[in-house]
Structure 1
């Protein structure tokens, strides 16, 4: 497994195995909200009178709430550019840019559009101005002097709503991260499965289909031949005196010869022909859509171009057979095998076809 996937697996384990016994499932469905890290919530207070700011801060500020203070709309916008806030308390009567205008500025910016606003005012306002306030995004009006208990109560509601939204966002982030990790792990599992399947079907030394796979392919090719009435030729190839190569040059050289031989044959095959190793130095060559005469030509081309490898010169013998109507794979291979024996008895380094 790659280091990247291992790291992602560690993340999954850290999420799902918790020291306190609570699982991520509990966290995700909300039964353990304290599992998410809780940071102080910011409240913005804007008032051009410093004493009002100090009084509001004294009422609201605590370890879980930070009061951000500004004496002007410009100062408030600067704070909003760098801080997320759960609620904005805006004084209506301010010089230059009043609270209503500041609220409209906040509503025009994506970052602050959804920040709840409570207006603070020292004067009773008429219905028209009240309408303008609500139109600018106000959720409430409070009149000065504000009762501390009323202010605390209203602020607490918006703080709780903000914390709920933040926890929901954290849960969604966890879910998205779990989904991302799950998709990557699933992709890695699919890759590993594909590699495992390929490994199970492939001869490790030569890279060609192993005995089990090539015989499966041969059965399929024979069934297709019956359905489509197309010719199918099959050859069994055996490297001549291969034991002598191992004894003279060593087994590593023998392995190199086997690998080079497979590469040599495959480079001269035409699709959909396929070469597989059936054991030791013996190979099975399937040639769907190929008549016996053409199959002989293919093998002779392979023979003519064969070169020594790893310091060892080598040759091969082959027996060929073309599938007959109603013939089973074992019968077809038996015919090719008999032809191979005849090639060996004839001095090797040649190809023979089965007798009629």
Structure 2
């Protein structure tokens, strides 16, 4: 393993959320111990400053906000993730919200928070001289529902623009971090103007099959994620061509196993689909770097360990290591661990 990415909990470091109420020294101690072990082996702005001052001499790469798109769209448009706000007609489980306005308000303030954190990072004299800071995005890639349809091709352009055409945001980062998980088919939708929402403002419909009913790629059991490795190469080339080939780190990429309690541990440890998923994506990454010249510096697997996954809880397992939640969190390596050990020993992955 060349790198390990982890989050710093705001609540653990500053329990009340306000620096004026005090910094939790035990929280600082915890993260210092964690970082040491790894080495051996406005409110948001203030929170960022405390992180930089306490850990900046050790940590060389910082990201401010993880997946702002998911926070705003899934939290304020569809309402299926925290904070669970949306228009009632979008999701009946939402108790309050406005899918037509709140995603934009949340996005605006997330970007302001990112900018404020970057400003504090630049000012802090305790950060490493070669330290870098960025934000982690989660861009989707789209293909036209009908490759002969001009309307569907235009829908793809709008979709990608919404995902990646944010000039001011990119200029506030030393690198671009992004998560690679999904591709969709874009189709011109029929929109009800009386029911505005963020997703329909894009004037496109997200689908997983094209007009010939062909799926984007192999799917995992719950049909939430699909393996479309070519999309990774296309996203990287889009960023390279539009933004003069900036430095990129793929901060997350992975596929899940569904654990509904009926599978044995051995069944889950045999994660052939995950191995194939990463092998295919790494081959496309190799092409993007070697053949296309994309400046990609890192690839982080999501995730090292099984963990609590948003609204899916513990039923969705992304880890290279199986975590036994009923037996003191004991860890067991899945077959993908051995595959990655071989890969990281610099055995060449063939490029077709």
TM-score tier, shorter chain, comes to under 0.3
Q: TM-score, normalised by structure 1?
A: 0.21
Q: TM-score, normalised by structure 2?
A: 0.21
Larger Rg: 1 or 2? 1
